[in-house]
Amino acid sequence: IIEVSCSGGRCESHANPNPLVPLPSHASNSEPFHAANRDYHRWMGIALWIGAGALASLIAWRIRPMRPRWWWLEPALSLAVALLLGTLATALDFGGWSEPDWRAGIFVFAGSFAAIAGSRIIRTTRLSSSASDATAADRP
């Protein structure tokens, strides 16, 4: 919805994203209002990345096979990968920290979940190869 305000023979138009809440009177080309709005969106994008990484970690924790002994390992990996992929999403210009875009959320979630799955596969192959080496050493 576009609001138009006129004063002293001069009219200005403002795009209002939420028509139920009127724009403040200083919203017309006011730098502090726009700067605060940009900061809000930047933090919402980062919150989306962290939320997607945490969701991937929670879902992976519910899958029991190959779960690590240290509970903090997978959430730390998931959040690190989420921040890395969120930055990549910003570079690829779909969401990122500039706006909370659903494509960035899915990208970060899938990447974090794949990183956890990869770490479990690597850990399992190391454990199985060390176990087979130990049984081979026991044979005469």
- pTM of the predicted model as reported, rounded to 2 decimal places: 0.63
Q: At what angle do helices 102-138 and 31-62 cross, to 10 degrees?
A: 30
Distance of CA 7 to the CA centre of its chain: 44
pLDDT at 34 over 70: no
Rounded to an integer, the average pLDDT of 68-83 is 91
pLDDT score of 140: 54
> So what's the pLDDT on residue 21?
55
Contact predicate 23/41, CB 8 Å: no
Q: What is the mean pLDDT of residues 101-111?
A: 93
Residue 67: exposure state from Cβ atoms within 10 A (0-12, 13-18, ≥19) = middle
Q: Report the pLDDT value the prediction gives residue 6, as an integer from 0 to 100.
A: 66
Write out the two tokens for 98. Answer: 């500039």
- Please indicate whether residue 62 or residue 95 has the higher confidence score (pLDDT): 62
Residue 137 pLDDT greater than 60, yes or no: no
